[in-house]
Structure 1
C-alpha cells in the first residue's frame, strides 16, 4: 500500500506538489487512497475545500459580469461607447487624478510635519488627522452642499455682508462640480496616505538624516531626497486605497453631478433598464481597477530598503520658529476641520436645532436593527472564512492555499456597484437550482430565496470586505512564533486543536481589529446596499441617501450621526495601536 510521505507541515516534499487543480481533482476521483498525498500537507481536506469555495465565491461575480457583457446587444455597446463612456472615462480620470494629487500632498505633508517637527498642538493634531476616515464621503458631500450651495449659510452671509441681491452678481466656487467632488473626497480620504506616510517617517533612522544634514541638506531637501524616497512603497499603498475608495463611491459623485463610471453603471442599469449595458461599463471599470492595482505594484516594485536589525536611534523632531510653528499647526488643522470638524459640527447643530432626537421611534430603531444585524452577520461570516483561509495557507506553503488566499483578497478592489451587478447571475442561478430541487421533492415553488432576502446582501458584504479580515489575521498570525506551533505539534496537537487552542487565543487582538473594521465598513457601505437590498429594507446608509435624494438631507442627520459615531471609535483605537506599534517596533 502506498504510504504518504512524511514531511514537515510547512514544507511539502517536491514530489507532493501537483501541476494544477484539475489534475488534483482527477487524481482524487480515480485513486481515492492517495487523496491525502495530493492535498497540501498539514491541513484537513475540509479546510482546503472551504478555501477553494471562498476563492470560487470571489471569482464567480467577475466571471458572471464578463459573460453578461459579452451576451449583451452590440448595438447598445456602440451607443454607450459613443455617448456615455467618453464622458465617464474623462470625469473618472480627472477625479482620480485630482484626488491623487490632493490626498498625496495633504497626507504626506501633514505626516511629515507632525513627525519631523515640533510646534504647538503637534501631539493633538497627530491624533486628530485620521478622524475624517469615520465620515463617509457621501455624508460629507451632502453636508458640503447644504453649507456651500447658493442657498447655504456661507453664500447667504456673503450676500448679506457685501450687499449682493442675486447669485449672478458675484462669483463663488460651485460645490456641485468636479472640483467640489475632488475637495470632498480628498477631505475624507487623505488619512489613508497620512497613516502610511507617518508609519514610514516614524521608523526612519536618525543616522541617515544626520548624514544628509552633514552633507548640507536643508529641511526641504532632506524631505525630498531622503525621507520621501524611503517612504515610497508605503505611499503607493496609501494612494491606491484612497483611489479605490474614490472609484467605489456613488453617493458623493452622483449628488455633486460628476458622471463617473460608477454613476454610469447605476444609471444605465436602473434608469435605462439595460443590464447588459451596465455590465459592459462595469467591465471597463474593472480595467481601470486593474490599472490602479498595477500602478500600486509598480510604485512598490524594487523599492526595498534594509536597515539594521538592532533597534536604531529614531530621528527626533526638530523645533520650528514661532511663525513656522503657527503655519505648521494651521496646515495640519485645516484638513481636520474640513474632513471632520465641519461635517461633525453640522450634524450636531441640525440634530439639536431641529429636535431630531425625537426621530428615535420604532421605525428608526427597526432600520438601526437591520443595519446592525446585516453588519454583524457579514462580520461573523468574514471572520470565520478568513480564519480558514489564513490558517490553511499557514499550515501548508502550497500553491493551492496561497492562490486561494490571494484570490480572497481581490474583493476589496472591486467596487460595490460592479460586485452587485456581477452577483445577480450567480444568485439567480442558485435560486433556480433550489427551486428545481424543491419542485422535484414537493411539487411546489420556493421563489427567490437568496435574491429575495438579505442573504444576497450579506454575501456581497463578505466578498467585498473579506480582504480586511484576511489581511489583519494574516498579519497577526505572522507575529505568532513558529516555535509555539512546533511545540504544540510535538505534544500531539492536530491541526484543529492547534487552531482552537493555540492560534485563536493568540489572534484575539487581530480578530477584534478585523471584526471592528469589517463591521464599520459594512455599516457605511452604500453602492452594493442600494442595488441588492430587498424591497422595503432600509439601512442607515440608504436612509441618509433617500433623504438626500429628496432634497431633505437634514431629516437624515440623526442616521448620519450614528454612522459617524460608530466609525469614530475604531479609527481612534487603530490610530492608538498603530502609534504604539510604530514606536515599539525596530525600524529594520
Structure 2
C-alpha cells in the first residue's frame, strides 16, 4: 500500500483536452489566427453604440445594391469560368489537335495575373484613347463614339468577362486533373455504345466533372469576392468595396463590421453549397493509376477550331496583358525613366512576402505534423478552422484583425504613457505586425494543405520504425518529416510568397503609414488615372506569379498511356 502510494502520486493527471504532442499548440495558434478576428468582427458589429443607428441606413441604401451587384458578378464570373475551364479541359484531355501539348499548360498562365491588374490593362487598352479604338478609327475614318459602338469594359458585363479570363484556370486545373486520372473504361464503354462527341461530353464528361468543378468554382467565387481593385475600377459596387468605402471614406467601423458579417454569411453559404454539391455528386475513382482514354484525333477543320478555342483564353487572359505591360514599361523607360522609388517598393513587398511565407510554413508544418502524430479529434477540427482563412476575403479579415490588434496597441501605449511617460504610438500596426498576422491567417490554408500532401506520401511505417529505434518527436521532425516533405514545403512556400505579393485588400487597409508595396503602388497609379506609370510594378507582380502558375500547370497525376 505504501509502495504504491508514491507511484500514484507521481502519475500526471490526464485531461480530455490535454494534447498528446507539443505541436498541438501550433494548431491552437493557427485556429486562433482566424477565429479571434472573426469573433472580434461579430462582436464589433453587434456591440458598438452606433450599430443600431447605422444598420437601418445600410439595409435601406447600401446592402440592396451591393448584394445585387455582388450576386450578378458571382453568377456571371462563375458561369463563364466554368464554361471556359470545363470546355478547355475536355478538349486537351480527350482530343488531339495542333498545339494541344503546349496549350495544355499555357491555359494555366492567366492565373499569374491579379484581377485588378488585368482590369486596369483592359480599360487602358480598350478605352477611347487606347490602341484598339485608335486603330479602329484610323482604319475606318470614324472620329467619335457617336459614329460607332464599342464595348465598355467599365460595366458589369465587362467586369464579368475580365475577371473570368483571369480566374478560369482554377476550374481548368481541377477538372483537367480529374479527366486525366479517370479510367478509360467509362469513356470506351460510352464510345462502344455509339455516343458521339456531344453526347459523350454531356452525359459522361459533365457528370464526371461535377466534383472537380465544384472545387474549382468555389475558388473562383471566393477570389471574386476578395477582389477590390478590379470591382472599384470597373464601377461595380460589391460588398467588398462597400466595406472599404464605409470604413475609410465614411469613417464608420460599425457599419463596415456589419457589412463584413453579411459577407461572411455569403461565404459560409458558398462553402456549404459546395460541400452539398460534392456529397450528392460524388464519383469513385480508382486509387491505382489507370489507363487513360485514347485521345481522338480531330479533323483539320475541327482541330483548328479546337486549337482556336483553347488559344483565345490564353491570348486574352495572359499574352495581351503581359504584352501591354512590357510595351508600357519600355515606353516609360524611354520617355521618363523608371521611378527610383520602385526598388524600395519592391524591397518592401519582398520583405513582407518572405516574412509571411516563413510564418505560414512554420505554423503549417506544426499543424500538419500535429494532425499526423496526434490522436485527438479536436486537433483535426482545429486544423480545419485554421485553414478557413483563405475563404475569408482580405477586406473582412483585415477588419477583424484590426479590432483586437488596435485594442492591444492602445493598451500598451496607455500603459507606457502612465508608467513611464513615453509615447510609443501604435506598435503592432505601425511596425507591420498586424499586416503579417492578416497574411498568415489568410494564407495558412495553403501551407497546411501543401505540407499535409507532402507528409501523406511518407508511409506510416517510417514513424513506427523511428519510434522503435527510440527517436523522439524532435528527431522525427528534423530527420524524417522535414527532409521527406521538403519539395511540398518549398512549393507551398512559393505559392504563399506570390499570393502575398499580389494581395491588395489586406495590404491597403493594414500597411504601416508611408509604406508602399508593388500592389499598393499599382493601385495608387490606377486610382489617379495614370496606370501606365505603375506598369513596371505590375509587370514585376505578373512575372513573380508566372512561376507558381507554371508549376501548377506542370503537375500531372500518375497515369498510364494507352
Q: Is the 8 A contact 1:351 1:357 kept in 2?
A: no
Equivalent residue number for residue 57 of structure 1:
33
Alpha-carbon offset, residue 435 of structure 1: 3.5
Alpha-carbon offset, residue 425 of structure 1: 1.2
Alpha-carbon offset, residue 325 of structure 1: 0.2
Distance change in 2, residues 1:467/1:308 (3 Å): closer
Residue 391 in structure 1 maps to residue 373 in structure 2: no
Q: Is the 8 A contact 1:472 1:514 kept in 2?
A: yes
Distance change in 2, residues 1:361/1:182 (3 Å): closer
In the superposition, the TM-score normalised over structure 1's length comes to 0.91
After TM superposition, the structure 1 stretch with the greater mean CA deviation from structure 2, 534-543 or 420-429, is: 420-429
Residue 130 in structure 1 maps to residue 111 in structure 2: no
Q: Is the 8 A contact 1:383 1:515 kept in 2?
A: yes
Distance change in 2, residues 1:2/1:393 (3 Å): farther
Q: Distance in 2 between matches of 1:138 and 1:497?
A: 46
1:347 to 325, 342, 347: 325
Q: Is the 8 A contact 1:350 1:356 kept in 2?
A: no
Distance change in 2, residues 1:49/1:551 (3 Å): same
Equivalent residue number for residue 460 of structure 2:
482
1:201 to 175, 179, 184: 179
Alpha-carbon offset, residue 156 of structure 1: 2.3
Equivalent residue number for residue 12 of structure 2:
33
Equivalent residue number for residue 28 of structure 1:
none
Deviating runs (4+, > 6 A) in structure 1?
A: 1-5
Distance change in 2, residues 1:308/1:272 (3 Å): closer
Q: Is the 8 A contact 2:502 2:541 kept in 1?
A: yes
Alpha-carbon offset, residue 445 of structure 1: 4.1
Distance change in 2, residues 1:144/1:307 (3 Å): closer
Distance change in 2, residues 1:429/1:33 (3 Å): farther
Matches within 5 A, 1:333-412: 333-355=311-333, 359-360=337-338, 362-412=340-390
Alpha-carbon offset, residue 429 of structure 1: 1.9
2:431 to 453, 457, 478: 453
Equivalent residue number for residue 566 of structure 1:
544
Distance change in 2, residues 1:240/1:3 (3 Å): farther
Q: Distance in 1 between matches of 2:420 and 2:427?
A: 16
Q: Distance in 2 between matches of 1:92 and 1:83?
A: 15
Q: Is the 8 A contact 1:411 1:467 kept in 2?
A: yes
Q: Is the 8 A contact 2:218 2:274 kept in 1?
A: yes
Residue 531 in structure 1 maps to residue 509 in structure 2: yes
Q: Distance in 2 between matches of 1:347 and 1:34?
A: 64
Alpha-carbon offset, residue 442 of structure 1: 3.9
Deviations 1:326-351 (A, max 9, x none): 00000000000110011001011111
Equivalent residue number for residue 286 of structure 1:
264
Runs of 5+ in structure 2 lacking a partner? Answer: none
1:271 to 211, 229, 249: 249
Q: Distance in 2 between matches of 1:136 and 1:149?
A: 20
Distance change in 2, residues 1:477/1:556 (3 Å): same
Distance change in 2, residues 1:356/1:476 (3 Å): farther
Q: Distance in 1 between matches of 2:297 and 2:81?
A: 26
Matches within 5 A, 1:473-512: 473-512=451-490
Q: Is the 8 A contact 1:80 1:277 kept in 2?
A: yes
Distance change in 2, residues 1:307/1:541 (3 Å): closer
Residue 69 in structure 1 maps to residue 49 in structure 2: no
Q: Is the 8 A contact 1:236 1:300 kept in 2?
A: yes
Residue 575 in structure 1 maps to residue 553 in structure 2: yes
1:149 to 127, 130, 144: 127
Deviations 1:30-66 (A, max 9, x none): x99315775233x12xx22232122112111111111
Equivalent residue number for residue 392 of structure 2:
414
Distance change in 2, residues 1:120/1:64 (3 Å): same
Q: Distance in 2 between matches of 1:74 and 1:59?
A: 25
Q: Distance in 2 between matches of 1:302 and 1:323?
A: 39
Residue 105 in structure 1 maps to residue 76 in structure 2: no
Q: Distance in 1 between matches of 2:227 and 2:289?
A: 42
Equivalent residue number for residue 232 of structure 2:
254
Q: Distance in 2 between matches of 1:541 and 1:356?
A: 23
Distance change in 2, residues 1:322/1:273 (3 Å): same
After TM superposition, the structure 1 stretch with the greater mean CA deviation from structure 2, 240-249 or 151-160, is: 151-160
Q: Distance in 2 between matches of 1:394 and 1:284?
A: 36
Q: Is the 8 A contact 1:350 1:557 kept in 2?
A: yes
After TM superposition, the structure 1 stretch with the greater mean CA deviation from structure 2, 463-472 or 351-360, is: 351-360
Q: Distance in 2 between matches of 1:176 and 1:4?
A: 76
Q: Distance in 2 between matches of 1:49 and 1:570?
A: 30
Q: Distance in 2 between matches of 1:4 and 1:208?
A: 64
Q: Distance in 1 between matches of 2:326 and 2:12?
A: 67
Q: Secondary structure at the match of 2:428?
A: coil
Distance change in 2, residues 1:78/1:133 (3 Å): same
Q: Distance in 1 between matches of 2:228 and 2:489?
A: 30
Q: Distance in 1 between matches of 2:483 and 2:358?
A: 17
Distance change in 2, residues 1:114/1:244 (3 Å): same
Q: Is the 8 A contact 2:290 2:559 kept in 1?
A: no
After TM superposition, the structure 1 stretch with the greater mean CA deviation from structure 2, 132-141 or 450-459, is: 450-459
Q: Is the 8 A contact 1:89 1:261 kept in 2?
A: yes
